[in-house]
A and B are shown apart, each in its own frame.
Chain A
Amino acid sequence: MLLGHYNYWIVIVLMMIGFYIVIAHGNLIKKIVGLSIFQTSVFIFYISMAKIDGGTAPILAEGIEQYSNPLPHVLILTAIVVGIATTALGLALAVRIKEAYGSIEEEEIQNKDNLDC
């Protein structure tokens, strides 16, 4: 009974870690790493639910009856692309912030902003 969900629980732990990095850490690059961990764990979640015991990869071949569900795979392919797009943009922003502020720490940037005002 308990073991039936163990896979999902691991995913949840991963999600929490990624989410924690995003919220708690001040370094911009690290935040983006956290974000990608968070997203990756969501991907794992989707893929886990597509799995069928005894199933195999959804590429048709002779003599195989049971296939895993292909739809989540498709969705996650799209989501991975979205993820890398976000990462690239976020990193680009971080680079520009570094050039403009001379720092990539959240607190320093906020201090400098307060000085500006």
Chain B
Amino acid sequence: MLVGVAFAIIWMKDLLSISMLSGIYGLLSASFFVAMDAVDVAFTEASVGAGVSTLLMLVAITMTGRSEHPVRHKPLLALAVVFVTGSLLVYGTWDMPYFGSAEAPIHQHVAPRYINDSMQEIGVPNIVTSVLASYRAFDTFGEVVVIFTAGIGVLALLSVVRRQEDIEKIDSFNNSMHEQHLVLRIVAKMLIPFIMLFAFYVQFHGDFGPGGGFQAGVIFAAAIFLYTMLFGMSTAYRVINQSFMQILAASGVLLYGSVGVISLLNGKEFFDYSVLSSNPVTGQHWGIFLVELGVGLTVASVMVIIFFNFAGRSENSPPPVSKDS
């Protein structure tokens, strides 16, 4: 099925349909992840691949026009490159351990310690969380910084200075649009608090089940997206201040980092959580809790920043220039 969708994306010319298909692709791969036991990953992929990135693509398409030119250039060369890569990979699979075999080296060397000892060492049932937030905490810190970088980058590329008359114009346009969406608005009003509640559940339940800071952040941001889409940018601006979001994003990163700094100041290695409490396992708990909170803060606020900048740009930008010019 994945292959089918992917092929369809090649042939499709209408960018809007492509973005929707890529949403399907995201959902499909997420289901695949569930079947492969990777529940945390499925969680993330569903909210990111099917949710956020599809939305961003849509907003981008509103600004760039939706059709692709039928120009085909040197597909032969491209095909050749692709086939070389592909056949190299197939060649590489030849000596791989079989799919699903328990004797594969990856199941023998590093992983067993995570599976067998993480309960004593960290005390969190979700192994993915304990590896993510403690054993490989620095990777995750890097991940938070990556998302922060993306937020700053989008801000640098797309931020617009809004003028008062623009806002009024958009307001009137939005109001005329939203009168039609009465049903949607009511349902959304019921759903949004629920979504936010659910985000908090995911945030704090991440130790025991699938979930964690990143997923929670995305879900929380999704609630705000929904609000923005239905009630208009300017209403959303009134509720959520842009510069406040930036501060929030920064403080998420800082919160994460400061946990590490605390362990430094206590003479332990960076991100050694055992200093946070007299009992090392409780310390790990606290560390993971704080770190996940930092991740959630940053992710939610960066997602909102990115979305606001895209959507704000799209509402401000003049209609696209005719393509024939």
Contacts and interface: CB of A to CB of B under 8 A. Distances in A.
Interface in A12-27: 12-21, 23-27
Contacts of A37: 6, 9, 22, 25
Interface residues of A, number: 85
Contacts of A30: 15, 18, 68
Interface in A34-85: 34, 36-37, 40, 43-44, 47-53, 55-61, 66-78, 80-85
Overall SS of chain B's interface: helix
Interface string B50-88: 001100110011011100110111110111011101100
Interface residues of B, number: 102
B9 A68 contact: no
A58 B306 contact: no
Contact of B71 (A26, A28, A59): A26
B225 interface: no
A100 B2 CA distance: 36
B269 to A, nearest CB: 19
A73 B69 contact: no
A66 B149 CA distance: 38
Contact of A99 (B77, B94, B317): B317
Interface in B115-137: 115, 118-119, 125-128, 131-132, 136
Interface of A: 4-10, 12-21, 23-30, 32-34, 36-37, 40, 43-44, 47-53, 55-61, 66-78, 80-89, 91-96, 98-99, 102-108
A85 B306 CA distance: 10
Given A20-B79, A68-B37, A93-B157, A98 B93 contact: no
5 contacts: A17-B3, A33-B18, A48-B36, A55-B37, A92-B309
Contacts of A98: 63-65, 320
Given A12-B93, A67-B127, A71-B114, A78 B142 contact: yes
B131 A5 contact: no
Nearest to A79: B143
Contacts of B147: 81, 84-85
Given A16-B86, A81-B143, A53 B157 contact: no
B110 interface: yes
Contacts of A36: 22, 49, 53
B178 interface: no
B131 A84 contact: no
Given A18-B6, A29-B64, A71-B106, A102 B154 contact: no
Nearest to B86: A16
B3 A10 contact: yes
A85 B149 contact: yes
Given A77-B132, A98-B65, 4 more contacts: A60-B118, A80-B41, A87-B56, A89-B157
Given A20-B78, A59-B209, A70-B127, A78 B143 contact: yes
B57 A74 contact: no
B68 A70 contact: no
Contact of B65 (A15, A73, A104, A108): A104
B136 to A, nearest CB: 6
Interface in B127-181: 127-128, 131-132, 136, 139-140, 142-143, 146-147, 149-150, 153-154, 157-158
B146 A81 contact: yes
Interface string B2-28: 110011011000010011001001100
